[in-house]
Amino acid sequence: MDAASRPPWTFLSNHAHALLFLAQNPDARLRDIADAVGITERFTHTVVTDLIEAGYLTSSKQGRRNTYQVNDELTFRHPLEQGARIGSLLDIFSATE
């Protein structure tokens, strides 16, 4: 199989992409997140709900919209990254702007 016919893949999950996007765009709508990450709005709702339930995000109402805040003190969930703060990942990508 040559490189052109291989399916695309990325190092980061949809959850990580959504978290990174919300760290930079805390007042984003689900539609905005979905477009940025490349997933459906329905799946975006699932991802954001997962992140809120796990404590990585908090959500508050601002009028008719939600505003999100990332808890950058939490650590990664996978055993290989255990102990590393989410804030470290956010720092890497905020430095590339």
Phi, psi angle pair for 77, to nearest 5°: -90, -30
Q: Which CATH class is domain 11-94?
A: mainly alpha
Give the pLDDT confidence of 25-49 residue by residue, as tens digits: 999 999 999 999 999 999 999 999 9
- What does the pLDDT read at residue 12? 92
The burial class, CB within 10 Å (0-12 / 13-18 / 19+), for 51 is: buried
Give the pLDDT confidence of 52-74 residue by residue, as tens digits: 999 999 999 988 899 999 999 99
- What does the pLDDT read at residue 87? 95
Is residue 23's pLDDT more than 70? yes
Tell me the DSSP string of 55-81: TSEEEEEETTEEEEEE-TTSB-SSGGG
> Do the bridges between strand 57-62 and strand 65-70 make them parallel or antiparallel, or are there none, so unpaired?
antiparallel
Contact 69, 57 (CB under 8 A): yes
Is residue 7's pLDDT more than 80? no
